[in-house]
Amino acid sequence: MSNARYDTIIIGAGMSGLAAGIRLAQYDQRVLILEKHYLWGGLNSFYKRAGRRFDVGLHALTNYVPKGTKGAPLSKLLRQLRLRHDDLELAPQSYSEIAFPGTKLRFSNDFELFRSEVHERFPHQIEAFERLVAELDAYDMFSPPDTDISAREVLKDFISEPLLVEMLLCPLCYYGSAREGDVDWYQFAILFKSLFNEGFARPEGGIKPLLDLLIKRFAELGGELRMRTGVDAIVHKDGECQGVRLADGTELEANCVLSSAGWAETMRMTGDELYDTHVNEEEIGKLSFIETIFVMDKTPAQLGHDTTIVFFNDSTEFDYQRPKTLIDPRSGVICCPNNYQAKTPLKDGLYRVTTLANYDRWKELSPEAYSEAKLQSVEAALQTAAPFSFDPRPHEIERDCFTPLTVERFTGKMAGAVYGASRKRLDGRTPLENLHIIGTDQGLLGVTGSMLSGISIANRYALVPN
Amino acid sequence: MTRDEIILAVKDIITTIAPDEDLDGLNNTDPLRDQIELDSMDFLDIVMELRKRYGVQVPEEEYGVLNTLDGCADYLLPKLEGQELKMVNA
């Protein structure tokens, strides 16, 4: 190996990798972040097209709390990275809604709106809902259970009205369940708090200014970031991780390696033996999405739509599965970034519509069929989404679409699984000493969650020398 | 460093990691956690800053001694003998 030894090497310059990198560089570690792609951000990246900058994943930064809120995940994150709340320039949402046929539940960054909406629409469930809220308030996020528990089953113990159960599951699945048909109860508790008790905001200018801030901080602290540098293999001996080998054959030594590539993806880098022993292919994420972004000559508000995010479902039952066909247009998410209360309004009107998609069906298409399928899929999605919002097509200036294949190409996530593997590794441990998992497959999701994932695993394994 | 200087040093570290907390009214005897918002991540940072600024190692099983300002002073007094106080947030 070369003599350039690092304290810590981090695989991936997404939210978790950058946050972990800042933490370690803050305490004078020699840290290197390796990113395969030519842009940073991972699942929360950005790109330019026809002179416009688009966010890849960002609908909302969840876990939003106002400046000065004590003890909230966002506050902990800011403190750990020595950032000020104002640095993030967060614009809070107007309000969002869960929309099923004939029933809507609005919610905002003030939990009382959601509470009153549930009370009004489901008067027979008031006590049940309040018992659920009390249970979730008391839930200890720092002691995750050892086994997976079905939120669907737990909810049935509290709530006897099936429609309310479905309506609670819909946004929480869409914003972070890697499990088909359900969400793990531990994740449910975290997500409920991050969506309903806390709330949504959008960094002014989208994800790029936030990423720029993280990159700048990391560089100021002496951290090293290499772009377009994929890791070919994780080098190990006698059960101990020793470093990484790059695509060009260079080997880099490190005392510790943190990987945000995903569980199966990371095991693959360690070689066939560990992959075969420790990867259950059933657990590779099955859930992926297709999203179309419309740029419009009018803002959503000008078209009568004030809602920030709509989680819609076209029947009384919510089916969160990998679809059998290319997409499942029966449910989805509509995001209108203009409807955050930004200091500087966005130049164009934007409309994003997201539905579930099947990676395998997209993968088998020829290039011509792929383009055609994108067109047809958005027509199908809008047929369901427009009645819950409006039709963006008459105001369209431009559109762009990403599929599960796009996600896979730019993030390296197998099967374009946005929320990663169905089984999370909450303790971050792997079969190798000094190799740890951060990010999506560790278990905390979203912008805030993934940064906290990087921070907590870095603190636990990489910061304090053994 | 004297006892009083050590308490100043620890307060200066807390100012760095928790800039929004008001430390004027802190007493030396009650647990810090009861007086201001500090969680286990913050205590880790106190330990890391002590190491960074003064080269002091606090093993994980001894973090509990940092619970109060008096506890910090007792524990750190012999370890910081002969060192100068370094104020970052003066």
What percent of chain A is modeled with pLDDT above 70? 99
Q: Report yes or no: A405 and A362 within 8 Å, Cβ to Cβ.
A: yes
Overall average pLDDT of the A70-99 stretch: 95
How do residues A215-234 score in pLDDT, each as one tens digit? 999 999 999 999 999 999 99
Chains A and B form CB pairs within 8 A to the count of 27
* Chain B residues closer than 8 Å to A80 by CB: 41, 45
Overall average pLDDT of the A29-52 stretch: 93
How are beta strands A251-259 and A240-246 bridged, if at all? antiparallel
DSSP 8-state secondary structure symbol assigned to residue A90:
E
CATH class for the region spanning B3-76? mainly alpha
What is the pLDDT at residue A210? Answer: 96
A214 burial type by CB count under 10 A (0-12 exposed, 13-18 middle, 19+ buried): buried
Q: Is the pTM of this model over 0.90?
A: yes
| Residues in CB range of A332: below 8 A, 6 or more apart | A174, A311, A312, A353, A354, A355, A356, A381, A384, A385
A65 burial type by CB count under 10 A (0-12 exposed, 13-18 middle, 19+ buried): buried
Do the chains contact at B17 and A70, CB–CB below 8 Å? no
* Chain A residues closer than 8 Å to B37 by CB: 70-71
Do the chains contact at B48 and A79, CB–CB below 8 Å? no
* Chain B residues closer than 8 Å to A459 by CB: 41, 44
Provide the CA A69 distance to its chain's centre, in angstroms.
23
What is the pLDDT at residue A142? Answer: 76
Provide the CA A50 distance to its chain's centre, in angstroms.
26
Domain ranges of chain B: 3-76
Measured between alpha carbons, how far is A465 from A154 in angstroms, rounded to an integer?
41
> Which H helix or E strand runs over A411?
helix A404-411
A228 touches chain B (CB under 8 A): no
Q: Report yes or no: A95 and A105 within 8 Å, Cβ to Cβ.
A: no
Nearest to A8 by CA among A216, A221, A224, A211: A224
Domain ranges of chain A: 5-63+206-282+424-462, 109-194, 286-411
Profile chain B (90 residues) by mean pLDDT over runs of 10 residues: 95 92 92 92 94 93 93 96 90
Q: Domain A5-63+206-282+424-462 is of which CATH architecture? A: 3-Layer(bba) Sandwich (3.50)
* Chain A residues closer than 8 Å to B60 by CB: 464
Give me the residues of A, 13-52, that contact B with CB < 8 A. 27-28
Question: What is this model's ipTM?
Answer: 0.90
B contact set with A (CB within 8 A): 16-20, 37, 39, 41-42, 44-45, 48, 51-52, 60
> Would the pLDDT of A208 be above 80?
yes
Measured between alpha carbons, how far is A396 from A360 in angstroms, rounded to an integer?
30
* Chain B residues closer than 8 Å to A68 by CB: 20
How do residues A393-408 score in pLDDT, each as one tens digit? 999 999 999 999 999 9
Measured between alpha carbons, how far is A251 from A273 in angstroms, rounded to an integer?
20
> Which H helix or E strand runs over A203?
strand A201-203
Q: Where are the beta strands (DSSP E) in A297-387?
A: 309-313, 327-335, 349-357
- In sign, the C-alpha dihedral spanning A354, A318, A362, A443 is positive
| Residues in CB range of B47: below 8 A, 6 or more apart | B58, B63, B66
Distance between A92 CA and the closest CA of chain B, angstroms: 22
B19 to chain A: nearest residue by CA?
Answer: A79
- Joined tokens for residue B20: 């929004």
* pLDDT, averaged across chain A: 95
- Three-state SS at B49: helix
How do residues A134-169 score in pLDDT, each as one tens digit? 999 999 887 788 788 999 999 999 999 999 999 999
What is the pLDDT at residue A224? Answer: 98
How do residues A247-260 score in pLDDT, each as one tens digit? 999 999 999 999 99
> Would the pLDDT of A2 be above 60?
no
A76 touches chain B (CB under 8 A): yes
Q: How many residues are present in chain A? A: 466
Provide the CA A349 distance to its chain's centre, in angstroms.
24
How do residues A381-440 score in pLDDT, each as one tens digit? 999 999 999 999 999 999 999 999 999 999 999 999 999 999 999 999 999 999 999 999
Candidate from A5-14, A110-119, B18-27, B40-49 with smallest mean pLDDT: B18-27
What percent of chain A is modeled with pLDDT above 90? 91
Distance between A78 CA and the closest CA of chain B, angstroms: 10
> Would the pLDDT of A312 be above 60?
yes
State the CB neighbour count (10 A cutoff) for residue A225.
19
pLDDT band at A1 (very low <50, low <70, confident <90, very high): very low
Measured between alpha carbons, how far is A275 from A344 in angstroms, rounded to an integer?
48
* Chain B residues closer than 8 Å to A455 by CB: 41
Do the chains contact at B41 and A68, CB–CB below 8 Å? no
Measured between alpha carbons, how far is A274 from B82 in angstroms, rounded to an integer?
52
pLDDT band at A63 (very low <50, low <70, confident <90, very high): very high
Distances in whole angstroms, Cα of residue A416 to Cα of each of A45, A167, A178, A200, A405: 14, 26, 12, 25, 6
Overall average pLDDT of the A189-200 stretch: 96
How do residues A264-287 score in pLDDT, each as one tens digit? 999 999 999 999 999 999 989 999
* Chain A residues closer than 8 Å to B16 by CB: 82
> Would the pLDDT of A465 be above 80?
no
- Three-state SS at A464: coil
- Three-state SS at A364: coil
Distance between B45 CA and the closest CA of chain A, angstroms: 8
Distance between B88 CA and the closest CA of chain A, angstroms: 14
